[in-house]
Amino acid sequence: MNSLTLLMFLPIIGSVAVAATPKAKETLTKQVALATTLIVAAATIAIAVGFERDNVDLQFVEKYSWIPSFGINFAVGIDGLALVLILMSTILAPIVVLAGWNEAHGGRWSVKVFYILILVLETMMIGVFAATDVFLFYVIFEAMLIPVYFLIGGYGSGERSAAAVKFLIYSLFGGLLMLASIIALYVMSGAQGGHTFDLAALSHLEMSSTTQNFLFLGFFIAFAIKAPLWPLHTWLPDAAQSATPGTSVLLLGVLDKVGTFGMIRYCLTLFPDASKTFTPMILVLAVISIVYGAFLAIGQRDLKRLIAFTSISHFGFITMGIFAMTSQGHSGATLYMFNHGFSTAALFLVGGWMISRRGSSTIADFGGLQRVTPVMAWSFFLAGMSSLALPGMSSFVSEFLVLVGTFTRYPVHSVIATFGIVLAALYILIPVQKALHGPTTPGNENLSDLNLREKIAIAPVIAIIIALGFYPSPLLKVINPASAHVIAQMGFTDPAPTNGDK
Amino acid sequence: MVFSAPVLNYTLLSPMLILLGGALIGVLVEAFMSKALRPITQLSVTLGSLVLALVQVWRIRNEQSMTAAMGSVVIDGPAVLLQASILIISIISVFLIADTEHFTALAASLPGSEEERHAMQTGSQVTEVYPLTLFAVAGMLLFPVSSDLITLFVALEMLSLPLYLMAGLSRRRRLASQESALKYFLLGAFSSAFFLFGAAFLYGYSASVTFAGIRESVVGGGGNDVFLLIGIAFLSVGLLFKVGAVPFHAWSPDVYQGSPTPVTAFMAAATKVAAFGAMLRIYYTSFANAQWSWTPMLTVIAIVTMLFGSLVAIAQRDVKRMLAYSSIAHAGFLLSGVIALNKAGLEASIFYLFAYGIATVGGFAIVTLVRDSAGEVTDLNRWKGLGKRSPWVAAAFAGFLLSFAGIPLTSGFIGKFSIFSAAYESGAKSIVIAGVLSSAIAAFFYIRVIVLMFFTDPVEDGTSVEIPSALTSITVIFSMVVTIALGVFPAPVLNFISDLATFIR
């Protein structure tokens, strides 16, 4: 079976098809792109169906020799964590294409280039989560910056090129630190039985604790920039503000997850001791991110920047869940990654429609949308509720799990983080009130409501958010064994049982 | 006294002999052929000899000999790899040199003189650039295969003297071009003097000028170590000058900028391969056992070179100067391969040299295409919006820049990874850290150029992109394909290098 490789290359094939469409027929280009992403989503679901939930080993494993002289393989395989994230990415992709049907028109280049970039990016999104060879992971991790860079700089708005450069420089810097660590791992593996980049083999390397700490930092800083964790987050608001809503969804929803995914998959697996050493520091950063992101979100006047800051707060929760080192915390963090993808998608997509209709992204310019455009307003409201983790929404389950999982070991952090939830109510309810309720602001009387295409795009997102809010167990059944496995590998046992959702 | 005739293995020397023969034919063509026929004849002779030499290198790829020319030349795996790299780089550079637009009509005429105007009107061309190129390439082939200090010095001069001349042949801004040639010549002469001084001390130390003899003395110990240290230090100055390492880099930005761009491409790429090839050989064979006396010095130079090149490149406003500083930074990266002093370091250096050389020629090929009515436009501000005017040319340049920056899926990344891991393996961790930091700094100015080309609107000032000639297109496309192929699927080339790359001593 080589289903994962096939899945990875489907979008590339689609991008060739997109490139072959005539330039004049933009609709055809979009249709081909949409069809490709739908096929990929269907294929991913097929893979998910074939996934054995209780098997904690990697599944769908494939391995081809790539650069034998360095011991580099094209090796892929998925566990529950990777599967959930791939599922999220491939489901979000068609939604982004459909929701941002006209996004590419304001760009520097043609519509075709936009969709080629999106599809190439989709291949890399699958690959980055599926890779089990550290070198392959690094290559994709760095290479995926390039399409995003061109998506922001070429199709964004406002200070798009500055934002794109900021994004790229931050990420490259982190990536290069990681490269130094990877080189060290490679050299050590050579000294201990042959050069390899195999994740499983590398996790058994013997190294001194000083070395381990340094190498851990190389990886962790790269992931903390990606995730983004305070104080390395400053690129995100600019990038999110300048990118098109669809690009922002992919950037915050999928790419930033590579950071938190990497913390689990690489930091914890490769450097268990160093992870424990740095846990107190990282938890403090996570709590700061939660509170800081929330406070700054409250102060934002720009809708897109507001969503970006809410994400910084949410990534704080995810990081806290990961480093709480309990299986609930881990399950919660993984579920949070999935849910955050969809709630951010909902916020950005609906927010993007509001902005493109109004021609402004300042929250104060909206007002009374409830009366003028009820469907759009309700969608935004639901997206907001999901972001503040209202019970009944999917993010509630994950936030709860993270807090419970953290509380059993780090009660103080957990309690402070809980204030993040209170602040979340503020940063969501203030824009909801300003934009949706009250008298209709002059200039908004003639805004049109969501059209059929937009309704079709947003419906599955909201459906997933609500369905998983009431019945998260299908996902948790995939996530729990994987999380328990990581925690067990780290040598932790859960403290006094405080059963969450099992 | 018995005279013993020298024994030469002509097969092993044939690549160099072919080039020298071609160069001599070129000189005769210059003297006897009519002006109209010269360009095409010279081009064919040059390309013909280069290709023939490359074929010859391929045929001797598995040979190993210390005695090809009475112990003065050594042919082994690294020699073959370096010679092949130099020849491939030279061939694609000659495609650029064939565009006469870049060269003055009459090199001997004073800039702005009546004579020059006349030469321009009659459409004469400096076809002497072809034999000069061949002489330089022959010197470059000899440089990394020399196995004694005298041959090494002869090769150094043989490759340098034609380059001094070629640097002064620019058609536009001839005074700047001649100034750069003079600067190159004077500083080059100084560095040659240092080189000879070092060679003399090494002779004093070991009573031998051959690499093997020096190696024996180093291994045996017992000589005067002060002589050895002075010898290594001064010889290194001569070599570091050629590769453009700090603090011996001062010539390179001016020469890169002043020379005709095809010559810059040739010089930047091929000279680096030759000079690093020679450096690798002498450090890996003769000085290997004295590594504690030179690795600290080279480590400091490598780190300073990387950081200096990357930092100063940020401030550049001229594309050729920017590439010059970028090449200084790359010299620093390459030095880490010399310091590594292990087989992985040798393989990585050879791969890096080839990958970097090809990308460099490709990059300068693009520079030759961006012009206005007065010739090439090298001011970066006028490259704004190039991506809009000619997306393919801009995309190719972006590709080369990404390779210089070491972004994955380009040859530059594989090169950087392999050379840094070799350095790390040898324990030179500080170099890896400095290398990673300067890569991050360097990424900044490469990306800035991409921003200029793609994310800025074009200014209407007469800058346009020339439709590339067939030969230039070949160079660009070939370089691009190699750059991507070596980034995505480097295994065959890495294996080939790994099979051959062992110095015989």
**A143–B433 C-beta distance less than 8 A:** no
3-state helix/strand/coil string of B265-313: HHHHHHHHHHHHHHHHHHHHHHCHHHHHHHHHHHHHHHHHHHHHHHHHH
Three-class SS state of B163: helix
List of chain A residues whose C-beta atoms are within 8 Å of the C-beta of residue B414: 67
Rounded average pLDDT over B354-359: 94
List of chain A residues whose C-beta atoms are within 8 Å of the C-beta of residue B409: 139, 143
Rounded average pLDDT over B445-456: 86
User: What pLDDT is attached to residue A374?
Assistant: 81
Identify the residue among A181, A187, A211 best suited for mutation to test binding to B, counting B beta carbons within 10 A and taking the highest: A187
User: What pLDDT is attached to residue B132?
Assistant: 93
**B439–A176 C-beta distance less than 8 A:** yes
**B491–A143 C-beta distance less than 8 A:** no
Q: Which of B388, B413, B451 sits opposite A161 (nearest CB)?
A: B451
Whether B383 has its CB under 8 Å from any CB of chain A: the answer is no
Paired residues of A76 in beta bridges: A62, A131
Instruction: State phi, psi for A319 to the nearest 5 degrees.
Output: -60, -40
List of chain A residues whose C-beta atoms are within 8 Å of the C-beta of residue B494: 67, 69-70
Rounded average pLDDT over A93-121: 82
**Per-residue pLDDT at A439 exceeds 80:** no
Q: Which of A143, A183, A184 sits opposite B408 (nearest CB)?
A: A143
Q: Is B459 left (phi over 0), alpha (psi -120 to 50) or beta?
A: beta
User: A391-431, pLDDT tens digit by residue?
Assistant: 888 888 888 888 888 888 888 888 888 888 888 888 888 88
Between CA B93 and CA B266 the distance in angstroms is 5
User: What pLDDT is attached to residue B486?
Assistant: 92
User: What pLDDT is attached to residue B105?
Assistant: 73
**Per-residue pLDDT at B161 exceeds 80:** yes
List of chain B residues whose C-beta atoms are within 8 Å of the C-beta of residue A139: 408-409, 413
Identify the residue among B421, B424, B448 best suited for mutation to test binding to A, counting A beta carbons within 10 A and taking the highest: B421
- Buried (b) or exposed (e) across A426-444, using 16+ Cβ within 10 A? ebbebbbebbbeeeebeeb
**Per-residue pLDDT at A501 exceeds 60:** no
With cut-offs at 50, 70 and 90, classify the pLDDT of residue B250: confident
Between CA B344 and CA B424 the distance in angstroms is 10
With cut-offs at 50, 70 and 90, classify the pLDDT of residue A502: very low
**Per-residue pLDDT at B418 exceeds 80:** yes
Paired residues of A318 in beta bridges: none
Between CA B213 and CA B219 the distance in angstroms is 10
CB B83 within 8 A of CB B144: yes
How far B387 CA lies from chain A's nearest CA (Å)?
Answer: 9
3-state helix/strand/coil string of B95-134: HHHCCHHHECCCCCCCCCCHHHHHHHHCCCCCCCHHHHHH
> What is the total residue count of chain A?
502
List of chain A residues whose C-beta atoms are within 8 Å of the C-beta of residue B490: 67
Three-class SS state of B247: coil
User: What pLDDT is attached to residue A497?
Assistant: 55
How far A62 CA lies from chain B's nearest CA (Å)?
Answer: 18
Distance from first CA to last CA of chain B, Å, rounded?
A: 31
Whether B496 has its CB under 8 Å from any CB of chain A: the answer is no
Q: Which of B424, B447, B494 sits opposite A165 (nearest CB)?
A: B447
How far A499 CA lies from chain B's nearest CA (Å)?
Answer: 45
Percent of chain A with pLDDT over 70: 98
CB B378 within 8 A of CB B317: no
Interface predicted TM-score (ipTM) over 0.90 = no
**A183–B420 C-beta distance less than 8 A:** yes
Rounded average pLDDT over A429-453: 78
Between CA B71 and CA B212 the distance in angstroms is 9
List of chain A residues whose C-beta atoms are within 8 Å of the C-beta of residue B444: 169
Residue B49 vs residue A101, higher pLDDT: B49
Rounded average pLDDT over B164-179: 86
Counted across chains A and B, CB pairs separated by less than 8 A come out at 88
Domain boundaries, chain B: 10-500
**Per-residue pLDDT at B101 exceeds 80:** no
Rounded average pLDDT over A166-185: 87
List of chain A residues whose C-beta atoms are within 8 Å of the C-beta of residue B447: 165, 168-169
3-state helix/strand/coil string of B434-478: HHHHHHHHHHHHHHHHHHHHHHCCCCCCCCEECCCCHHHHHHHHH
Residues 6+ apart with CB under 8 A from A79: A56, A57, A58, A59, A482, A485
Scanning every residue of chain A, which has its alpha carbon at the shortest distance from the alpha carbon of B434? Answer: A180
Between CA A493 and CA A182 the distance in angstroms is 30
How far B335 CA lies from chain A's nearest CA (Å)?
Answer: 18
User: What pLDDT is attached to residue A307?
Assistant: 86
Whether B456 has its CB under 8 Å from any CB of chain A: the answer is yes
**A67–B490 C-beta distance less than 8 A:** yes
List of chain A residues whose C-beta atoms are within 8 Å of the C-beta of residue B455: 108, 153-154, 160-161, 164
User: What pLDDT is attached to residue B462?
Assistant: 66
Peptide bond preceding A11 in cis form (omega within 30 of 0): no
Closest to A364 (Cα-Cα) out of A430, A420, A320: A430
What mean pLDDT is reported for chain B? Answer: 88
User: What pLDDT is attached to residue A499?
Assistant: 53
Helix or strand holding residue A118 (H, E): helix A111-130
Give just the sign of the alpha carbon dihedral B113, B119, B123, B127.
Answer: negative
Whether B420 has its CB under 8 Å from any CB of chain A: the answer is yes
User: What pLDDT is attached to residue B160?
Assistant: 92
Residues 6+ apart with CB under 8 A from A348: A240, A245, A246, A248, A249, A252, A304, A307
**Per-residue pLDDT at A484 exceeds 60:** yes
Closest to B242 (Cα-Cα) out of B176, B334, B168: B334
Whether B392 has its CB under 8 Å from any CB of chain A: the answer is no
What token pair was written down for A417? Answer: 């983080």
Rounded average pLDDT over B377-389: 81
3-state helix/strand/coil string of B190-202: HHHHHHHHHHHHH
Q: How far is CA B59 from CA A224, A382, A493, B268, B332, in A?
A: 53, 73, 65, 27, 33
**Per-residue pLDDT at B502 exceeds 50:** yes
**B425–A187 C-beta distance less than 8 A:** yes
Rounded average pLDDT over B317-328: 91
Q: Alpha-carbon Rg of chain B, whole angstroms?
A: 22
**Per-residue pLDDT at A369 exceeds 80:** no
**Per-residue pLDDT at B114 exceeds 60:** yes
Paired residues of A78 in beta bridges: A59
User: A34-81, pLDDT tens digit by residue?
Assistant: 888 888 888 888 888 888 887 778 888 888 888 888 888 888 888 888
Lowest mean pLDDT among A231-245, A486-500, B26-40: A486-500
**B417–A179 C-beta distance less than 8 A:** yes
CB A494 within 8 A of CB A328: yes
With cut-offs at 50, 70 and 90, classify the pLDDT of residue B307: very high
Rounded average pLDDT over B36-59: 92
User: B187-202, pLDDT tens digit by residue?
Assistant: 999 999 999 999 999 9
User: What pLDDT is attached to residue A1?
Assistant: 57
C-alpha angle A429/A430/A432, rounded to 5°?
A: 60
> What global pTM score does this model have?
0.90
Between CA B104 and CA B176 the distance in angstroms is 13
User: What pLDDT is attached to residue B225?
Assistant: 84
